[in-house]
């Protein structure tokens, strides 16, 4: 891995559906690891998700850096559950709600 590859790390915004139907939005630089932490109730699992497994990832998208992912996360968290479902189904585009790409 080159130095430029070490400093460039993709970030992901994701939305999870819990077994009770509620939605959880987060960001990470390792999507598979983070999903596994949430799904298995590991000590690093978000408190909100404890006991709400199984989880389904209904949406994820990638960003070039943490700052862009955080800005998008803030905007997505302000959406209603219905709007988040539209985002997950492709009927709402992340660029329409966030100046991120």
**Calpha distance 66→84 (Å, rounded):** 21
Residue 99 has pLDDT above 70, yes or no: no
Q: What are phi and psi of 79, to 5 degrees?
A: -75, 155
**Calpha distance 52→45 (Å, rounded):** 11
Topology given in CATH for the domain delimited by 9-91: GIY-YIG endonuclease (3.40.1440)
User: What one-character-per-residue DSSP string does 17-33 give?
Assistant: E-TTS-EEEEEES-HHH
Residue 79 has pLDDT above 50, yes or no: yes
The ranges assigned to domains in the chain are 9-91
Q: Tens digits of per-residue pLDDT, 31-53? A: 999 999 999 999 999 999 999 99
């Amino acid at each position: 891995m080159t130095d430029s590859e070490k400093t460039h790390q993709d970030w992901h915004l994701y939305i999870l559906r819990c077994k009770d139907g509620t939605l959880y939005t987060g960001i990470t630089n390792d999507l598979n690891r983070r999903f596994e932490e949430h799904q298995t109730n590991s000590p690093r699992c978000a408190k909100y998700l404890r006991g709400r497994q199984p989880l389904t990832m209904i949406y994820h998208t990638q960003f070039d850096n943490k700052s862009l992912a955080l800005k998008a996360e803030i905007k997505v968290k302000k959406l209603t559950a219905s709007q988040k479902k539209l985002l997950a189904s492709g009927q709402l585009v992340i660029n329409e709600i966030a100046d991120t790409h």
